[in-house]
Chain A
Amino acid sequence: MPVSGADEPARLRRVTRTGETDGDGDRNGNGGAEMIRVEGLHKRYQADGPEAVGGVDFVVARGEIFGLLGPNGAGKTTTIGTMTTRVKPTGGRVLVDGIDVVKDPVAVKQRIAVVPQMSNLDRTLTALENLTFHAAYFGSPRRDRRKRALELLDRFGLGGRGSDKVNKYSGGMAQRLMIARALMHQPKLLVLDEPTTGLDPQSRLFLWERIVELRELGTTLLLTTHDMLEADRLCDRIAIMDHGQVIANDTPRGLRRLLPAEQGLELLLESPTDPVGRFEQRADVDRASSTDAGDGRWQVRLYGGGDRLPDAALAVTREPGGPTLAEMRRIAGTLEDVFVHLTGRDLR
Chain B
Amino acid sequence: MKLGVRSQAFVALCERDLWVTVRHEPVGFLAQSLLQPLFFLFVFGRVLPEIGQARGAYGAQLMPGVIALTVVLTALQNTALPLVIEFSFTKEIEDRLLAPLATWAVAIQKMVIAAFRGMISGVLILPLASVVLPGGINLGGASVGAFVVILVLGALAGAAMGLVLGTAVPPNRISVAFAIVLTPLIFTGATFYPWASLARLQWFQIVTLFNPLTYVSEGMRASLTTLPHLRAGWIGVGVVVALAIFTLLGVRGFVRRAVD
**A→B interface (CB under 8 Å):** 45, 81, 84-88, 105-107, 109-110, 112-114, 116, 118-125, 129, 133-134, 136-139, 181
Contact = CB atoms under 8 A, between A and B. Distances in A.
B12 interface: yes
B202 interface: no
Contact of A125 (B20, B98, B99, B260): B20
Of B13, B90, B92, B98, most buried by chain A (CB within 10 Å of CB) is B98
Interface string B2-35: 0101101100110110011000110000000000
A330 to B, nearest CB: 44
B259 interface: yes
B98 A87 contact: no
Interface of B: 3, 5-6, 8-9, 12-13, 15-16, 19-20, 24-25, 90-103, 258-260
Contact of A122 (B6, B12, B92, B258): B92
Contacts of A116: 91, 94
Given A81-B260, A87-B259, A137 B91 contact: no
Contacts of B24: 124-125
Nearest to A88: B259
B12 A136 contact: yes
B100 A110 contact: yes
Closest 7 CB pairs of A and B: A120-B91, A137-B99, A136-B12, A120-B94, A139-B8, A133-B16, A110-B100
A106 B101 contact: yes
Given A88-B260, A137-B13, A122 B98 contact: no
Contacts of B96: 137
Given A81-B260, A120-B91, A124-B25, A105 B102 contact: yes
B91 A109 contact: no
A118 B90 CA distance: 9
Given A85-B259, A116-B91, A123-B90, A136 B16 contact: yes
Given A116-B91, A120-B90, A125-B24, A106 B102 contact: yes
Contacts of A123: 90, 92
B13 to A, nearest CB: 6
Nearest to A107: B100
B91 A119 contact: yes
Nearest to A82: B260
Contacts of B102: 105-106
Nearest to B3: A139
Contacts of B8: 139
Nearest to B90: A123
Nearest to B4: A139
Contact of B12 (A81, A84, A88, A137): A137
Contacts of A122: 16, 92, 95
A136 B15 contact: yes
A12 to B, nearest CB: 26
A125 B25 CA distance: 10
Given A85-B259, A124-B24, A106 B100 contact: yes
B91 A118 contact: yes
A21 to B, nearest CB: 19
B100 A138 contact: yes
Contacts of A138: 9, 99-100
B98 to A, nearest CB: 6
Given A136-B12, A139-B9, A86 B92 contact: no
Contacts of B5: 106, 110, 139
A86 B91 contact: no
Contacts of B16: 122, 125, 133, 136
Given A133-B12, A137-B99, 14 more contacts: A45-B260, A85-B97, A87-B259, A105-B103, A106-B5, A106-B102, A118-B91, A120-B92, A121-B95, A124-B24, A133-B19, A138-B99, A139-B5, A139-B9
A260 B93 CA distance: 48
A109 B92 contact: no
Contacts of B3: 139
A88 B256 CA distance: 11
A137 B260 contact: no
Contacts of B19: 129, 133
A262 B221 CA distance: 89
Contacts of B93: 120
Contact of A121 (B12, B15, B92): B92
A50 B25 CA distance: 45
26 contacts: A85-B98, A86-B97, A86-B259, A86-B260, A87-B259, A87-B260, A106-B5, A106-B100, A106-B101, A106-B102, A107-B100, A114-B94, A116-B94, A118-B91, A124-B20, A125-B20, A129-B19, A136-B12, A136-B16, A137-B9, A137-B12, A137-B95, A137-B96, A139-B5, A139-B8, A139-B9
